[in-house]
Structure 1
Amino acid sequence: MMPLDRAVRTHGARVVAALAARFRDLDLAEDGFAEACARAVGAWAQGEPDNPAGWLFRVAERAALDILRRRAVRDGAALPPLEPEPTAEELMAARPDIPDERLRLIFVCCHPAIHPEARAALTLRLVCGLSAQEIARAFLIAEPALLQRLTRAKRKIAAAGVPFEIPGPDHWAERLDAVLSTIEVAYAHAHADGAATGLHAGYAAEMRVVTATLATMLPKEAEVHALAAMVRFAEARRPARVDDMGAMVPLSEQDPALWDTALIADAQRYLRTALGRPLTARTLQALIHAEWCLRTSLDDPAPWPAILILYDALLAHRDDPLTRLNRAVALAEMRGPAAALEDVDALSHSGLATYLPYHAVRADLLTRLGLYDAACEAYDAALALGPGDAERNWLAAKLAEVGR
């Protein structure tokens, strides 16, 4: 990885957040940071500076001030007063009550003044660096609608003078749902990449740290502990997710002997804490993961009956297209592919057209029903969405089996 790429991945979110705190303008912060990165291409050709974050912040700040100066000349307005020379670290200074840097940034961006629908999306863009297309797919909305949502949020921040400050414990509750949604989507991008070769693979380890920190901060929040459990159950299975040929292995076909038993035990500890509170959507999701992780070998029957019961319970808490799609997989095993396909096809207008698993599930159901031409079209649609290496290899192999 090139020095600039590494610096952007490591420090980019912190620098953008620091610029947002400095100027109260997210567009200006992003524009200034982009200009700093462009200048770094030439400036760092002979070597990386001793303090990459500080260099990027200072150059981005100057670029942002140049933009403001041009606006001031155009509009006859005054520039904001110059401030002392703070570093990026000083602007986003650590608080002992939120000891993890990325988690601090997530809390900062999930400000309650921003519309609830926009908080997680904005945070995923600023803190996690997800593209607008990736965020739109995660929330099952069109990319133009997502961009409008982000634009409105940025305008609200600028107009209301929303302070980009690290909140104290009294303000965590009002930001928690957006924080959890952000972590959930960020981790989902890492989990979707079974081979851990993609751009967001590093979130898998990072979100383990973040959820552990959050569980320590909020020991009585069931959804926090449930999310920590989910991440660990899923990561425990990673050693069995890719075969020797580099293709994804479906969950029901993974060898439990390869799973990380220490991580499973850690997940169970978090789940026990979550189960000490009233059931929530994330607690039920964690229970679904836990059912799979009770298997010790491929000779153990897959827990489809329990999985279907849990998804039925989950629908009472979170009735959305993703829950119904996942439930259809269990339904196919219990009541046959025809019943499952009926449920999946009922989701065709729910924003799943750009969601790869939707097409993969349909392709499998169509194959099992002998509808091979339609199955090939579904596999083609899944492949067109740019899956990771392992997922692409598996989809290509399934497509070849069906007839191409």
Structure 2
Amino acid sequence: MAARPRVVAALAAALRDLDAAEEAFADAAATCLALAEPPRDVAAWLYVAARRRAIDAIRKARAEARTADAMAGVSDMADILNLPEPIPDERLRLLFICCHPALAAEVRAALALRVICGLPVGAIAQLFVVSEATMFQRITRAKAKVREAGIAFEPPERRHWLERLDAVLLALELAFTAAYADAGGELSADIGEDLGAEVERLALLVAELLPQEPEALGLAALVLLARSRARARLDAEGAMVPLSRQDAAKWDFARIERARTILGQAAERGRSGPYQVMAAIQLTHARRAYDGAVDWGAVLRLYDVLLALRPSPMVALSRALALAQLEGAEAGLAALDALPDHRLALARPWHVARADLLAKAGRAGEAVAALDAALALEPPRAERLWLERRRAQLA
């Protein structure tokens, strides 16, 4: 349901319990779906119904009776929805709460993706390149720690925002990574909203709240640049179109120019960071819409900087693809084969990159095997159509 993230956020703030908020929402949603006629205000109905169920559960367990009695006096959701501060900002508020420094950085981001964005645990596991069972355990432990440590469900004072900013930006980055990989919109349909659009809104809001933080500006620019290509990412059959083959005339020039301006503002702060470098890489690709070419030398140098700032197998993978553009497919394959991280076998981009370079090197049979490995990892429909089409060409 589209109302899920904002209603769960409001419930979590009221109940002070993430698990209780999700369980109460699930019960209320099931009841709502069974109604003969949908309520006029679905979000308000779900909030009131879920809150009442949570209060009943608390009372039956004879726990936190005082909290339940206090909650029972709260007015209906309509009053909350009509407050001057719009409900979607409850999501940003809860994002800062989930990113409490008492939790490990990766756990904070995973918890935020589950509770605030409503991403399935399997999708979150793919982002962290771990098994679904491992990620489920991490999120469960994080919720328990929030509850046991008595972490306040109040936004931190402004002077404490910066100690949570890195985790907030990471959560937004990963949420957008999931949205961007889902070119056909299947994931957004499952969670009931345009996840990419919501992450863009939140990233711009964080940048507006913290205009002196260059990395907040860098992430906002990065998301804008990626979103600028939305109209060019699918062909007529619904298959994903790789960046190098997209029609640049379909790109959103207003978003590109806004991102360029924001990135310039970040540069004025004099503190570079990985989000600014990633945005600069995307801006270098965006120049193809203006002069018809990509400066691969600049892209490679930027990946060298990014690898120094934030080393990871996926950054190294992207650098290998840039290197192949300058020195040939075999050089790119050698760089890929030098990567030691065994988890890459769980990452579709690894197999897709190998397939691309193997095909360019004339090793079609190996390229087909790499595409088979990528298809075995259950890509979204749009990516699957593209991979199957590419496999048919090679086979």
Residues 336-345 or 393-402, more deviating: 336-345
Deviations 1:41-67 (A, max 9, x none): 22x2x2122332232223223333443
Residues 267-276 or 363-372, more deviating: 363-372
Q: CA deviation at 1:130?
A: 0.5
Amino acid at match of 2:137: Q
Q: Do 1:123 and 1:182's aligned partners in 2 also have CA atoms closer than 8 Å?
A: yes
TM, length-normalised to structure 1: 0.88
Partner of 1:263: 255
Select 2:166's aligned residue among 163, 168, 177: 177
Select 1:67's aligned residue among 57, 60, 65: 57
Deviations 1:202-243 (A, max 9, x none): 122222222222221111110111111111111222222223
1:291 paired with 2:284, answer: yes
Amino acid at match of 1:288: I
Question: Does the C-alpha gap of structure 1 residues 258 and 344 become closer, same or farther in structure 2, counting only changes over 3 Å?
Answer: same
Partner of 1:82: 69
Q: Which runs of 5+ in 1 are unaligned?
A: 1-7
Amino acid at match of 1:140: V
Partner of 2:223: 231
Amino acid at match of 2:46: L
Partner of 2:39: 49
Q: Do 2:44 and 2:81's aligned partners in 1 also have CA atoms closer than 8 Å?
A: no
Counterpart secondary structure, 1:351: helix
Partner of 2:348: 356
Question: Does the C-alpha gap of structure 1 residues 94 and 286 become closer, same or farther in structure 2, counting only changes over 3 Å?
Answer: farther
The aligned runs of 1:17-166 (5 Å cut-off) are 17-42=9-34, 44=35, 46-72=36-62, 79-80=65-66, 81-83=68-70, 84-88=73-77, 100-166=89-155
In structure 2, how many angstroms separate the alpha carbons of the residues matched to 1:155 and 1:196? Answer: 32
Q: Do 1:15 and 1:88's aligned partners in 2 also have CA atoms closer than 8 Å?
A: no
Question: Does the C-alpha gap of structure 1 residues 326 and 94 become closer, same or farther in structure 2, counting only changes over 3 Å?
Answer: farther
Partner of 1:217: 209
1:322 paired with 2:311, answer: no
Q: Do 1:184 and 1:227's aligned partners in 2 also have CA atoms closer than 8 Å?
A: yes
Question: Does the C-alpha gap of structure 1 residues 193 and 117 become closer, same or farther in structure 2, counting only changes over 3 Å?
Answer: closer
Q: Do 1:230 and 1:267's aligned partners in 2 also have CA atoms closer than 8 Å?
A: yes
Residues 349-358 or 361-370, more deviating: 349-358
Q: CA deviation at 1:255?
A: 2.6
Q: Do 2:299 and 2:322's aligned partners in 1 also have CA atoms closer than 8 Å?
A: yes
In the alignment of these two chains, the number of paired residues is 388
Amino acid at match of 1:296: A
Counterpart secondary structure, 1:386: coil
1:367 paired with 2:359, answer: yes
In structure 1, how many angstroms separate the alpha carbons of the residues matched to 2:364 and 2:51? Answer: 57
Question: Does the C-alpha gap of structure 1 residues 291 and 371 become closer, same or farther in structure 2, counting only changes over 3 Å?
Answer: same
In structure 1, how many angstroms separate the alpha carbons of the residues matched to 2:122 and 2:338? Answer: 24
Q: Do 1:94 and 1:101's aligned partners in 2 also have CA atoms closer than 8 Å?
A: no
Percent identity, aligned pairs only?
43
In structure 2, how many angstroms separate the alpha carbons of the residues matched to 1:240 and 1:69? Answer: 53
In structure 2, how many angstroms separate the alpha carbons of the residues matched to 1:87 and 1:170? Answer: 33
Counterpart secondary structure, 2:69: coil
Q: Do 1:32 and 1:63's aligned partners in 2 also have CA atoms closer than 8 Å?
A: yes
In structure 1, how many angstroms separate the alpha carbons of the residues matched to 2:372 and 2:230? Answer: 26
In structure 1, how many angstroms separate the alpha carbons of the residues matched to 2:178 and 2:142? Answer: 23
Residues 329-338 or 281-290, more deviating: 329-338
The structure in which a higher percent of residues are helix is: 2
In structure 1, how many angstroms separate the alpha carbons of the residues matched to 2:64 and 2:245? Answer: 65
Amino acid at match of 1:47: E
Q: Do 1:292 and 1:302's aligned partners in 2 also have CA atoms closer than 8 Å?
A: yes
Deviations 1:23-79 (A, max 9, x none): 33222222222111222222x2x212233223222322333344334544xxxx674
Amino acid at match of 2:275: R
Q: Do 2:176 and 2:199's aligned partners in 1 also have CA atoms closer than 8 Å?
A: yes
Q: CA deviation at 1:372?
A: 2.7
Question: Does the C-alpha gap of structure 1 residues 351 and 135 become closer, same or farther in structure 2, counting only changes over 3 Å?
Answer: same
Q: CA deviation at 1:97?
A: 12
Q: Do 2:94 and 2:116's aligned partners in 1 also have CA atoms closer than 8 Å?
A: yes
TM, length-normalised to structure 2: 0.89
In structure 2, how many angstroms separate the alpha carbons of the residues matched to 1:359 and 1:27? Answer: 36
Amino acid at match of 2:43: A
Partner of 2:298: 306
In structure 1, how many angstroms separate the alpha carbons of the residues matched to 2:80 and 2:342? Answer: 42
Counterpart secondary structure, 2:117: coil
Question: Does the C-alpha gap of structure 1 residues 115 and 305 become closer, same or farther in structure 2, counting only changes over 3 Å?
Answer: same
Partner of 2:199: 207
Amino acid at match of 2:162: A
Q: Do 2:188 and 2:195's aligned partners in 1 also have CA atoms closer than 8 Å?
A: no
Question: Does the C-alpha gap of structure 1 residues 174 and 100 become closer, same or farther in structure 2, counting only changes over 3 Å?
Answer: same
Amino acid at match of 2:172: I
In structure 2, how many angstroms separate the alpha carbons of the residues matched to 1:246 and 1:22? Answer: 42
Q: Do 2:219 and 2:279's aligned partners in 1 also have CA atoms closer than 8 Å?
A: yes
